[in-house]
Amino acid sequence: MFTGIIEEMGKVKSIIPGPNSIKLYIECRHILQDVKIGDSIAVNGICLTVTDMGERWFCADVMPETIRKTNLGTLKISGRVNLERTLRLSDRLGGHLVNGHIDGTGTIISTQQEDNALWLTIETSPEILRYIILKGSVALDGTSLTIADADKKSFKVSLIPMTRELTVLGIKNAGDSVNIECDVIGKYVEKLVEGKEDPINKKELSIDFLKENGFM
């Protein structure tokens, strides 16, 4: 589990391709404190297992399914990536609960500067947009952000100067891909509500049913 608060930007040191997978080597400076082989690190929001490490680098295996669902397959040597260690239960939750399990990708279709804020407009699929709600949370390349606007094709987030400086979102441009993880709470609620039957009255448990019975 992660919080979406990026600790460091790492640099891609080496990419060793397999038939449909990659072995990824990341250079870093501070992220490896208290980390050991077998621990998890979020790389651009993707929970990866540390399989080997040195003083200023670590290695992770990226499976074919991860390549299909994320932007890791587009990484280049010397490219930058967001890094975050797993959450300690005693830590403050500065962002929101992030699993490191990517729902899909989106494309930055525009950027716009407004005073000290940089607006990003992200176009993505309807399957992801169903979980995007105004003032809700979303993780983009592992960065916890608040959704400031949304429509049927895209949504907007606004970056403060510190976020632009400390994460890869600050160096991305229109046309670039971002990993998207939607708020896990919304996904669990949807799963519990849809298709579940009331065992006593045999009525389908739905949004309309909850409203009719005073739960919403």
**Is there a domain that residue 3 lies in?**
no
Pick from 136, 117, 116, 120: nearest CA to 128: 136
Q: For 78-107, how does the pLDDT look when each residue is reduced to its tens digit (9 = 90+)?
A: 999 999 999 988 877 788 889 999 999 999
Do residues 44 and 65 share a domain? yes
Q: How many structural domains does the chain have?
A: 3
Do residues 17 and 74 share a domain? yes
Out of 55, 85, 115, a domain closes at: 85
Out of 50, 85, 120, a domain closes at: 85
The CATH number given to whatever domain includes residue 44 is: 2.40.30.20
Do residues 112 and 178 share a domain? yes
Q: What is the pLDDT of residue 215?
A: 62
**Is there a domain that residue 99 lies in?**
no
Decide if pLDDT at 199 tops 60.
no
Q: When comparing pLDDT for 37 and 207, which is higher? A: 37
**Is there a domain that residue 42 lies in?**
yes
Do residues 152 and 125 share a domain? yes
Do residues 146 and 216 share a domain? no
Do residues 51 and 112 share a domain? no
Task: Give the contacts of 132 (CB within 8 A, at least 6 positions apart).
Answer: 138, 147, 150, 155, 182
Mean pLDDT of the chain: 91
**Is there a domain that residue 21 lies in?**
yes
Domain that holds residue 168: 104-183
**Is there a domain that residue 197 lies in?**
yes
* pTM score: 0.86
**Is there a domain that residue 97 lies in?**
no
Decide if pLDDT at 175 tops 60.
yes
pLDDT grade, residue 130 (50/70/90)?
very high
Pick from 90, 80, 69, 67: nearest CA to 1: 90
